A and B are shown apart, each in its own frame.
Chain A
């Protein structure tokens, strides 16, 4: 548990350093995720303690967004003044984005699948 938590923090730290050095437009933890992924691919399996620690963190992932969400209180005046454009943009854009992404992915997968069959 402690070892795998340290491993996660080390990957994050390496990610932060890599971002600073290269100027990549990515947050350190996302680069850390890529580094851990590479490590797992090289090793060829996931160590059991890591499965456990990652599972414990990810099962409670929603909780980790709460402190940032409470930050809405620092912009309540602006949100109140522009509640219609902001609310409509958030809801409309969420509906459109999820629909477009899923339909394009499904359509492309079917298209390639058919092309693959035609070749055979």
Chain B
């Protein structure tokens, strides 16, 4: 490579500018394709952006911590965005209160299904113990999932990855599953999305319908609480 260009690259690679810019650019490409496909859940913008970025980083030999120096500015906004979910939730609160009991029962059923089925399937197909324990909290929003993973003996950093992959799988697969089951109520669709696919499911639900978005955000918060309370007990029962 031309030495002048090389020097510019070495300089830029050390600043957060590149990581931040490529994150936004990759997402814009993903979002553009998603909109062109008329919000088809199979064309998930997070998945497209992640594939593009991993490809780019591997091609340029950039490691994750270097990339994250720039990407952390985007990552940081997850906190205030989670707080902001109170706004759609407040708008739907009368509906939430009216359905409190069904929501609670569905939450416990969904939370147990998420952890139980993931661990069961991976175990049946020969997953290692490390993988099984890291999979158990995968339907919960990242910071809580990492905490639970640590507590039960999984790998928190592997759990973080599995959480994101779960979110993508849920956002991609859930809409068609719900159509197939003829679930048309936006409250039920949103709530199921949030229990299955935490914030990534909520992002998808918000794009499609405000009521679904509010119930998905609610489900995400409640599922974090339910899984954190139930899972360590269950794991102690199963693995002694």
Contacts and interface: CB of A to CB of B under 8 A. Distances in A.
Contacts of A22: none
A90 B118 contact: yes
A57 to B, nearest CB: 4
Contacts, number: 319
A65 B200 contact: yes
A67 B54 CA distance: 10
Contacts of B90: 37, 40-41, 46
B167 A65 contact: yes
A17 interface: no
Given A75-B161, A89-B118, A100-B110, A15 B127 contact: no
Contacts of A27: 82, 141, 143-144, 147, 224
B83 A11 contact: yes
B46 A88 contact: no
B142 A105 contact: no
B203 to A, nearest CB: 4
Given A15-B83, A41-B93, A97 B141 contact: no
B164 interface: yes
A8 B84 CA distance: 7
B114 A108 contact: no
Interface in B172-227: 173-174, 177-178, 181, 183, 185, 187-189, 191-193, 195-197, 199-200, 202-204, 206-207, 213, 217, 219, 221, 224-225
B113 A66 contact: no
Interface string B93-132: 1000001011101110110011001110111111110010
Contacts of B26: 66
Interface string B149-182: 0000000011011111111111001100110010
A104 B105 contact: yes
A1 interface: no
A84 B27 CA distance: 28
A70 B64 contact: yes
B190 to A, nearest CB: 10
Contacts of B224: 26-27, 30
Interface string A25-45: 111111011101100110000
Looking at A11, A65, A75, which has the most chain B CB atoms within 10 Å of its CB?
Answer: A65
Interface string B78-92: 111111111111110
A57 B80 CA distance: 8
A65 B118 contact: no
A58 B213 contact: yes
Given A46-B90, A89-B127, A112-B101, A74 B161 contact: yes
Report, nearest first, the 3 A-B pairs whose CB atoms are least far apart: A101-B110, A85-B127, A108-B102
Interface of B: 23-24, 26-27, 31, 45-47, 49-50, 53-54, 57-58, 64, 67-68, 71-72, 74-75, 77-91, 93, 99, 101-103, 105-107, 109-110, 113-114, 117-119, 121-128, 131, 135, 138-139, 141-144, 147-148, 157-158, 160-170, 173-174, 177-178, 181, 183, 185, 187-189, 191-193, 195-197, 199-200, 202-204, 206-207, 213, 217, 219, 221, 224-225, 228-229
Interface of A: 5, 8-9, 11-12, 15, 25-30, 32-34, 36-37, 40-41, 46, 50-51, 53-55, 57-59, 61-75, 78-79, 82, 84-86, 88-106, 108-109, 112
25 contacts: A12-B79, A26-B228, A27-B143, A30-B141, A33-B89, A62-B46, A62-B203, A65-B199, A66-B23, A70-B71, A75-B157, A75-B158, A78-B158, A86-B131, A86-B162, A88-B122, A89-B117, A92-B121, A93-B113, A93-B118, A93-B166, A95-B177, A97-B110, A103-B181, A105-B105
